[in-house]
Structure 1
Amino acid sequence: MNATKPLHLLLGLLLLSCALSLLGVAVGSTGFSLEMLQGGDAVQQQILWQIRFPRSAGAWAAGALLGLAGAVAQGLFRNPLADPYLLGASAGAGLGVAVLLVLLGLSPATAAWSMKLGLTGAAFLGAVAAVLLTLTLARGVQQTMRLLLAGVIVGVVLGSATALLTIMTPDIMRPMQAFMLGTTGFLSWASVWILLPVLLGCLLVALGASRALDALTLGEATARSLGVRLPLVRLSLIATLALATGAAVAQAGLIAFVGLVAPHLVRSRTHSTHGWLLLLSALTGGALLLAADIAARWLIAPQELPVGVVTSMLGGAYLLLLMHRGKVGELK
């Protein structure tokens, strides 16, 4: 496969995101229709501007955060299988959201703007705690298998705790089940105005640490000799990983594989430094989740599939295809 220049890939992803955004607002409970884009009555315009547009924009932003989080995790821990799920961050964020919703007796579908901001904070704290617990159990990042095993254990335990809280609170069981499967149905303009600033902030911090990530690929000793302040870099990137994961999970629920697959897709198309990899992974993650959301709404319309199920199926199929072809190089 010929490598694509990063700038060309950037332009291609931007065009793809624009095309998917237009397609996203044209897909509703009745399937694909362009009538609303050509006008319509007041009710149709309200559906377009208050439901479909924020849902598509929010899905793209949440996917971009997950793609960025995956690239940060893989670069920071020097592990091609690291992502928010495997490190326990998603499960921790989900538990933080579940605890707050149960304490307040609210549903993620009816939360106001201030409450959505509070959910993001709770998810951030849960994600930080989960990542730190994973690192503690793994005794650092030196042993890859130990890190992955610790992440799986933390994810399973915290996921079970979230399920237990859901069962104990029947009033919000149904929306919480949708939340745990991953859904873009709860997204609104309030979600968009939370996700976009978080995405911008996380992206700026990650890009600021991109040279440190490049140095880390040569080993910790080499990075130190080049003047990289590893404790500060780790602290800032773990906070970025947790905030990006927490914001996405708080607004769209538990969505798997986007953070894992997006950086691999970028690496399969272009060879670049972490500066480009982080930016392109975010754009790829946004396009992936938006495409999955369109498929979830369109495949069995008027019913709707949980978008987390769609991403799991597509992401799992992609990784199995790579394993079947023996393209180990694409997983590096």
Structure 2
Amino acid sequence: MHPRVLFFLLLCTIPLSLGFGLMSGSLPLTPIEVWYALLGNNEDTASEVLWQLRLPRVLAAFVCGGLLALSGVLLQALLRNPLADPYILGISGGAAVGALAAMLLGAGLATTQLSSFMGALLAIVAVFGLGFRHGERNIYRLLLTGVVLSAGCGALISLLLTLAQGEQVKGMLFWLMGDLSHPQGLLFAWFVLLAVGLCVTVLSGGLDVLAGGLDKAAALGVAVGRWQAGLYFAAAVLTVTALQLGGSIGFVGLMIPHAIRLLGVSAHRWLIPSSTLLGGSFLVLADTLARMVWSPLQLPVGIFTALLGVPVLLWLLSRRS
């Protein structure tokens, strides 16, 4: 498929996915009700549900999906590994340890988010410090450091879950599997997505050169070390922002860039915006299903990112093969 055509189709999915998310839930709304509520012409229950519950959550799902998909594109370019995703370098593990430790101590939402951020920040510093030790930018050491740190954080997460009791366990599991019911910092998340997305799209030519091999990129005058450090920190900022917004939502950063590539897009100037749009629409769909399937009980969105994503990716792989 031509990249321009795919990008146009993905643009068309945005109002469809957002509309589906706004209309669906324990109180179904018609398109007319949604339209009048958005215009502010109603002050009834539908308008209150839309503005206070659904609209913030739908916007949070879209930006969170975009952040994870874009982070996946950058990490796959950085590591030159199609299996890389936003959680491979231990950032989510550090954030999870911080968040779960705060929950175990009975902290509130703000303190939990701060603890999660500090855990992610420590993981970023540790991976970067050990992976790029003494200025030597060894990408394999960076990857190995992240994998080892993830394993250590996994053990700490298991310990914290074992020590937790009752409702604490449920809250911890929701954080680990993704929860968009209390979005915080929505405007900041949109700013990060737009700012980083615009920057890396403008610099996408350098990503294409790096994809051709580090030696070739260096021979063409690309400052490989600076590019690697920049990509790492950009992906880290995107991942931390997504974690603060919706917890640990898996599979989006791995699957979405793959799906776009399997549809015939390889140049990063199209891969970056297309992945961002598809990631956003995909997570809106997954979160809407998480709200609907067992209504009024809400399920973790991470369950549906896997249930929806796995068969689609397998189908694309079978078509491509």
Q: TM-score range by the shorter chain?
A: 0.7 to 0.9
Alignment of 1:320-331 (within 5 A): 320-321=314-315, 325=318, 327=320
Alignment of 1:1-332 (within 5 A): 3-4=1-2, 6-30=3-27, 32-34=28-30, 36-37=33-34, 38-39=36-37, 41-99=43-101, 105-108=106-109, 111=110, 118=114, 121-122=117-118, 124-129=120-125, 131-132=127-128, 135=131, 140-142=138-140, 147=143, 151-168=146-163, 170=165, 172-187=168-183, 190-321=184-315, 325=318, 327=320
- 2: CA distance, partners of 1:193 / 1:106: 24
- 2: CA distance, partners of 1:327 / 1:130: 39
- 1: CA distance, partners of 2:168 / 2:4: 46
- 2: CA distance, partners of 1:127 / 1:293: 28
AA at the equivalent of 1:154:
L
Change in Cα spacing, 1:133 to 1:154, as seen in structure 2 (3 Å) is farther
- 1: CA distance, partners of 2:256 / 2:208: 19
TM-score scaled by length of structure 2: 0.84
AA at the equivalent of 2:180:
T
Q: CA RMSD in A?
A: 3.0
| 1:162-188, Cα deviation, whole Å (9 max, x unpaired) | 34335545574432221111111122x
| 1:188-215, Cα deviation, whole Å (9 max, x unpaired) | xx43212101112221332244222111
Change in Cα spacing, 1:288 to 1:134, as seen in structure 2 (3 Å) is farther
| 1:305-328, Cα deviation, whole Å (9 max, x unpaired) | 2101111222333444456x3846
Q: Is this contact kept in 1: 2:97–2:116, CA < 8 A?
A: no
Shift of 1:19: 1.2
Return 66-75 or 17-26, whichever deviates more: 17-26
- 2: CA distance, partners of 1:263 / 1:299: 27
Q: Tell me the secondary structure at the aligned position of residue 139 of structure 2.
A: coil
- 1: CA distance, partners of 2:191 / 2:119: 16
Q: Is this contact kept in 2: 1:65–1:282, CA < 8 A?
A: yes
Where do 5+ consecutive residues of structure 1 fail to align? none
AA at the equivalent of 1:183:
D
- 2: CA distance, partners of 1:119 / 1:20: 33
| 1:36-68, Cα deviation, whole Å (9 max, x unpaired) | 425554443222101100100010000000000
| 1:65-100, Cα deviation, whole Å (9 max, x unpaired) | 000000001111111111112333322332344455
Give the total of aligned pairs.
311
Q: Is this contact kept in 2: 1:209–1:233, CA < 8 A?
A: no
- 2: CA distance, partners of 1:204 / 1:90: 24
Give identity over the alignment, percent.
Answer: 33
- 1: CA distance, partners of 2:228 / 2:10: 29
AA at the equivalent of 2:159:
L
Q: Is this contact kept in 1: 2:68–2:238, CA < 8 A?
A: yes
Q: Is this contact kept in 2: 1:93–1:249, CA < 8 A?
A: yes
- 2: CA distance, partners of 1:88 / 1:133: 13
- 1: CA distance, partners of 2:188 / 2:162: 29
Shift of 1:242: 0.7
Where do 5+ consecutive residues of structure 2 fail to align? none
| 1:236-270, Cα deviation, whole Å (9 max, x unpaired) | 11111111111101110111110011111111223
